[in-house]
Structure 1
């Protein structure tokens, strides 16, 4: 009986040890998975998905400031912006506060002298992050303000609405799905504007009610690589 009791005690101890060992190992595994998931949410290289570093001077000189998302007025952070680095994502940059004025679409990269490159007289004053979108694209464009005149529904890029639809210009639009860029001239040339989903009865909110768009393209998820 004493031998059987010892064997029983040994077996219970062994089973208990194995149970807690497995439980501890599983806990470590789950913690590692959670840590990996957090890193992926911030970007595969450990950097954040939305980040731009702005510099006061050209060629990344002077004071710097890291921006993590939409920002309507840089004046509280930098007196001016002479250069910047886009670490991740796609962004729109504006030369006026509150997302007004000239705007330019930017992807990941370094921009040591963007004002000369774009021909701007003013430095960036506000910026907006463009969220990645995967899905179908759909937009209706109209010949006149308030959804008047000819209407055409688009689901892909168009380098000339004149060639495709015999429309002289687009004066209002309704973006149902996806994020789009629209250009003043055919072949994606001239000034550009960013259109997220929404109804746009005219261009007055952009500061130029007489704008006319002649080409438009989708902001694709592949642009975020």
Structure 2
């Protein structure tokens, strides 16, 4: 018996009030053990609880599209951006536990725009961004970003300059307190950010 559990590759996705039909745009396969061993589960959409399908998840392979994977259920905890490729060991993603949930990232075509704020609730310095920033201190003389408003596009925040360290995925919306989101430790300072381009 084939031990791969799969769901339909064609699905209806709701995005910004529009229904888009996507086919084979997103494809990720999760494996129970490291290096793509053991039972597997294949999906094309968000999954808030992978343990509904696998007893554990220690590696994954992205066939197409971009995803965020999380080490806690319901898109919480440490998160890591994955694009087409192989990820044979969850510990190399900076996760404290196995992969427990995943979220697909829609392709965005058009401008990118985000306002970042030095303090929570949109306080302190404010800067509007339309491109990547590899070092927030060097560019804006800001030591931290505690809140933001994403107007256009999908973005990744990084704990360290030059796109290193822990990550956080942001889609359009208002984020009044980044330190309280998704089980992220409150002492993290976000130091760099980049756009998630449709080339992924």
TM-score calculated relative to the size of structure 2: 0.85
Instruction: Report the structure, 1 or 2, having the larger strand content.
Output: 2
Instruction: Work out whether 1:106 is the aligned partner of 2:82.
Output: yes
- For residue 119 of structure 1, report the CA deviation from its aligned partner: 4.3
> Which ranges of structure 1 fall in alignment gaps of 5 or more residues?
1-40, 43-47
CA contact (8 A) 2:150 2:172 kept: yes
Deviations 1:36-63 (A, max 9, x none): xxxxx63xxxxx2111111111222111
How far, CA to CA, are the matches of 1:163 and 1:53 in structure 2? 39
CA contact (8 A) 1:171 1:211 kept: no
> Which ranges of structure 2 fall in alignment gaps of 5 or more residues?
1-21
Question: Please, which of 135, 139, 150 is the counterpart of residue 114 of structure 2?
Answer: 139
Tell me the residue number matched to 1:149.
124
Question: Please, which of 15, 28, 44 is the counterpart of residue 52 of structure 1?
Answer: 28
Deviations 1:149-168 (A, max 9, x none): 00000000011111111111
- For residue 184 of structure 1, report the CA deviation from its aligned partner: 1.0
How far, CA to CA, are the matches of 2:88 and 2:166 in structure 1? 21
1:26-41 to structure 2, matched below 5 A, reads none
How far, CA to CA, are the matches of 1:51 and 1:87 in structure 2? 5
Question: Please, which of 206, 216, 219 is the counterpart of residue 193 of structure 2?
Answer: 216
Instruction: Report the structure, 1 or 2, having the larger helix content.
Output: 1
Pairs aligned (count): 177
CA contact (8 A) 1:181 1:195 kept: yes
After superposing on structure 2, the runs of 4+ consecutive aligned residues of structure 1 that deviate more than 3 Å are none
How far, CA to CA, are the matches of 2:26 and 2:128 in structure 1? 32
**RMSD, matched Cα:** 1.3
- For residue 121 of structure 1, report the CA deviation from its aligned partner: 3.4
- For residue 118 of structure 1, report the CA deviation from its aligned partner: 2.6
How far, CA to CA, are the matches of 2:116 and 2:96 in structure 1? 32
Tell me the residue number matched to 1:186.
161
How far, CA to CA, are the matches of 1:61 and 1:148 in structure 2? 48
